[in-house]
Amino acid sequence: MRVLIGGGSGFVGRELTRLLRDKGHDVTVISRQPGPGRITWGELQSKGLPPCDGAVNLAGENVLNPLRWWNESYKKDLFSSRIDTTKALSQAIAASSSPPHSWVLVSGVACYKPSLTAEYTEDSEWTPFDLLSQLVKEWEAAAFLPESAAKTTKQVVIRAGAVLGRDGGAMKQMLLPFWLGLGGTLGSGRQPFPWIHVSDLAGIIARSLEPPADSGAAQPSPQVFNGVAPAITTNYEFTKELGRLLRRPTIFPVPEFVMSALLGSERAVILTQGQKVIPMKTLESGYQFKYPDLTLALKQIVGS
Ligand code: NDP
């Protein structure tokens, strides 16, 4: 299978590329930078979709980029880096004379309103309630194929929780403070912390790229899968387990107002609030998690 991955140079994309190549598939990355095995977004727009059997979009400015202040220009980049690239791919698919059989967007669980009690499955109704949920709405809408294209291309949206892995994402920023014994719960610590190991997210994407069992399976609306581990974890449990595996104390809680001052309140919610997200459809699809619980996932990441 030939797979085109927008933003495939990043944390999740590198894992997905490894997995697909191990299975014998060909991968081409769409990037802002030209290079071997890559095309640029400009080339996609000027030359159209290259021949491919599956397409994925993983492009997006990092929401927790520690080098960027929370201001209007950063917010604009968060939106445009996701929506413009997703639109470029969905339009190229719709315009292609030999479209791929599968088109997968990875979005986020920020569409579900943070709550200590509510549980969300892929069937849960939601409407935007803040900036990040508005982002998810516009992002997913940008992936939507017109009816004619949806007849030939299966559309999938995977709503990912915090992606945990050794080589990127939130863990990369967390490991140093935890090693130094400066790790601690964020906000109350009671908030749910929806997470997934990067290897499982790559596995769910790879499965979603497989051709539909019968060609009549292509549907006008995308299939949605929650990309989170089945175990529900709180920030407190996550913090204590990471500290235990690293054999480091976790006695310095970071109050919510400090997180808001450091990150901006609109993005601090990613860490200080959370949702109980259930991967109901993901499990129903038969996907078997390699890292269904936190201890297994963290042991792989910290290597103990
Ligand atoms: P990365 O931060 O690693 O970024 C992926 C790629 O996006 C980069 O390699 C880069 O490719 C491209 N990119 C970065 N900034 C911009 C920009 N301003 N404009 C256009 N392209 C840009 O992402 P991840 O691999 O961690 O995540 C993949 C997707 O999953 C993202 O869309 C992310 O929002 C989503 N997601 C990730 C979560 C996580 O915890 N990591 C959680 C939930 C959702 P290049 O430089 O080659 O152009």
217, exposed or middle or buried, with CB in 10 Å at 0-12, 13-18, 19+?
exposed
Closest residue to atom 44 of ligand 1, CA basis: 108
This model of the complex carries an ipTM of 0.99
Ligand 1 centroid from CA 214, angstroms: 32
Q: Is 118 left (phi over 0), alpha (psi -120 to 50) or beta?
A: beta
CB atoms within 10 A of CB 30: 28
pLDDT exceeds cutoff 90 at 126: yes
* Percent share of the chain, pLDDT over 70: 98
Closest residue to atom 39 of ligand 1, CA basis: 163
Closest residue to atom 10 of ligand 1, CA basis: 7
Whole-number Å distance between alpha carbons of 103 and 81: 18
- Binned at pLDDT 50, 70 and 90, residue 217 comes out as low
* Homologous superfamily of the 2-302 domain (CATH): NAD(P)-binding Rossmann-like Domain (3.40.50.720)
- Binned at pLDDT 50, 70 and 90, residue 71 comes out as very high
C-alpha separations of 123 from 49, 141, 223, 304 in Å: 32, 17, 10, 37
**130-157 per-position pLDDT tens digit:** 999 999 999 999 999 999 999 999 999 9
Amino acid at 31: S
Closest residue to atom 19 of ligand 1, CA basis: 81
Q: What is the reported pLDDT for 218?
A: 62
Pairing between β-strand 102-108 and β-strand 223-227 as defined by DSSP bridges:
unpaired
C-alpha separations of 89 from 209, 288, 289 in Å: 15, 29, 29
Which residues fall within 8 angstroms of residue 27, CB to CB, at 6 or more apart? 3, 4, 5, 8, 17, 20, 21, 37
Which residues fall within 8 angstroms of residue 251, CB to CB, at 6 or more apart? 184
Q: In the chain, what are the domain boundaries?
A: 2-302
40 lines ligand 1 (CB under 6 A): no
Closest residue to atom 29 of ligand 1, CA basis: 58
Number of residues that this document lists for the chain: 304
Ligand 1 centroid from CA 42, angstroms: 18
Whole-number Å distance between alpha carbons of 56 and 59: 9
Whole-number Å distance between alpha carbons of 195 and 238: 10
Q: Which two tokens stand for residue 242?
A: 């990471």
Whole-number Å distance between alpha carbons of 97 and 80: 27
| Reported pTM | 0.97
pLDDT exceeds cutoff 90 at 302: yes
Q: What is the reported pLDDT for 215?
A: 59
Q: Which residue has the tokens 């539909």?
A: 212
7 lines ligand 1 (CB under 6 A): yes
Mutate to test the pocket of ligand 1, among 32, 77, 87 (most ligand atoms within 8 A of CB): 32
